[in-house]
């Protein structure tokens, strides 16, 4: 078969996979909801710790963290798998959402810090006398929830508008997004920015008045994250199966032809780019209270590259594939960083090479191959 037809076949295959039969889709969602909202809470909160069916708090936290990563991978799939925009800076939007939520969590500590001050410990240590102006109203959950959406969304909108209007794409766009997240990381590493410097935000005590370390709070955060993941999967499916989704895939495959057909790709790309950033911000906000820390290392270019690897391993343009990829890679990372930490980066690089050579459609492509 001519090589020129390979991209078309991959696109058709991905489209078939994303058009999962509706009745099977709802069955799968129902089973997932039953596991997330019934089985896990019972096994964690009700089943005794001595039982083989008990799910530990560590497992709940680990799976909650992986679901946050899966949401980020899904956001990456919308722009890369369906629109052809490879971002190497999505870790920035994830971290910004986490910092917005972290500001509320730091304010909720009150006088329970090491220095027993109204200010966070890092501000007391740096001899700050009052909160900077941009910390105003962050003691209110609703305000920080707005910041979780608005900060990543506005940054993505402004950056995307100028980048897409200038028709920057391909590797040039990827490099610029990587430079953006690297610059932000250097900025947040500074102690005089009011964001905790190298240590970031940690030592959280409560959220919405509930102890953040209580098993019921952890399980509630886990369930909310699971609901968010299922909701974003349904949202992504609705988008890619709509007329908007067909335009996005057309932009991915032949942007020039789309322009000649009378469409302006700028606004379509800007919409999905901004939406993807907002989804990442929400994932970051869910991640921070479960993991208990947010610092500038979340903005490192390496983290953003890992997001692309999750998507590639799972299968671009399939929605469910990146979710599987995030789970596979991060479960492997959790094991390797405990058993063989010095070999993890080698394994990650080898995994990416093997998937590129032998599984161009990702793990989800195995299911596609069985169906065809």
- What is the pTM assigned to this prediction? 0.92
Q: Please state the rounded mean pLDDT for residues 126-152.
A: 95
Higher pLDDT, 187 or 21: 187
DSSP structural state of residue 360? T
Looking at the predicted structure, is the pLDDT value of residue 174 above 90?
yes
Report pLDDT for 347. Answer: 87
> What tokens were used for 101?
């939520």
Percent of all residues in the chain with a pLDDT value above 70, rounded to a whole number: 92
| Distance in angstroms (rounded) separating the CA atoms of residues 181 and 244 | 28
How far apart, in whole angstroms, are the C-alpha atoms of residue 176 and residue 1?
36
Cα(317)–Cα(311) distance, integer angstroms? 9
pLDDT at 370: 64
Average pLDDT along the chain = 90
What per-residue confidence (pLDDT) applies to 16?
47
pLDDT tens for 25-50 read: 778 888 989 999 999 999 999 999 99
**Is the sign of the CA dihedral 207, 211, 326, 232 positive or negative?**
negative
The set of residues, in sequence order, having a beta carbon less than 8 Å from that of 329 and lying 6+ positions away, is 306, 309, 310, 313, 348, 351
What backbone phi and psi angles, to 5 degrees, belong to 294?
-145, 125
Predicted local distance difference test score (pLDDT) of residue 214: 94
Tell me the C-alpha distance between 130 and 271, whole Å.
38
Say whether pLDDT at 338 is over 60.
yes
Residue 294: beta bridge partners? 201
Query: What are 234-271's pLDDT values in tens digits?
Result: 999 999 999 999 999 999 999 999 999 889 999 999 99
| The predicted structure's pLDDT at residue 149 | 97
pLDDT band at 362 (very low <50, low <70, confident <90, very high): confident
């Amino acid at each position: 078969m001519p090589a020129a037809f390979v991209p078309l076949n991959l696109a058709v295959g991905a489209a078939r996979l994303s058009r999962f039969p509706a009745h099977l889709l709802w069955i799968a969602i129902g089973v997932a909801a039953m596991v997330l909202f019934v089985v896990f809470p019972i096994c964690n909160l009700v089943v005794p710790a001595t039982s083989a069916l008990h799910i530990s708090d560590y497992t709940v936290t680990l799976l909650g963290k992986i679901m946050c990563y899966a949401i980020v991978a899904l956001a990456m799939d919308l722009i890369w798998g369906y629109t052809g925009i490879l971002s190497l800076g999505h870790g920035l939007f994830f971290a910004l959402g986490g910092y917005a939520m972290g500001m509320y969590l730091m304010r909720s500590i009150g006088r329970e810090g090491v220095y027993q001050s109204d200010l966070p410990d890092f501000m007391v240590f740096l001899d700050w006398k009052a909160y900077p102006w941009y910390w105003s109203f962050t003691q209110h959950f609703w305000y920080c929830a707005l910041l979780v959406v608005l900060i990543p969304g506005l940054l993505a909108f402004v950056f995307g508008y100028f980048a897409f209007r200038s028709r920057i794409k391909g590797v040039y766009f990827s490099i610029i997004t990587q430079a953006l997240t690297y610059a932000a990381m250097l900025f947040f590493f500074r102690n005089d920015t009011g964001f905790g410097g190298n240590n970031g935000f940690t030592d959280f005590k409560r959220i919405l008045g509930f102890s953040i370390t209580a098993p019921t709070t952890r399980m509630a955060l886990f369930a909310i994250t699971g609901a968010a993941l299922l909701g974003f999967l349904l949202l992504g499916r609705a988008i890619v199966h709509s007329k908007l989704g067909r335009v996005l895939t057309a932009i991915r495959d032949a942007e020039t032809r789309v322009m000649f057909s009378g469409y302006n790709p700028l606004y379509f790309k800007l919409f999905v780019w901004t939406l993807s950033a907002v989804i990442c911000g929400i994932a970051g906000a869910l991640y921070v209270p479960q993991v208990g820390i947010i610092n500038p290392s979340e903005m490192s270019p390496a983290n953003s590259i890992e997001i692309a690897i999750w998507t590639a391993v799972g299968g671009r343009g399939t929605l469910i594939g990146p979710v599987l990829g995030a789970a596979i890679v991060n479960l492997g990372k959790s094991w390797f960083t405990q058993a063989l930490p010095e070999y993890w980066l080698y394994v990650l690089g080898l995994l990416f090479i093997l998937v590129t050579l032998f599984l161009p459609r990702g793990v989800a492509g195995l299911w596609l191959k069985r169906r065809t």
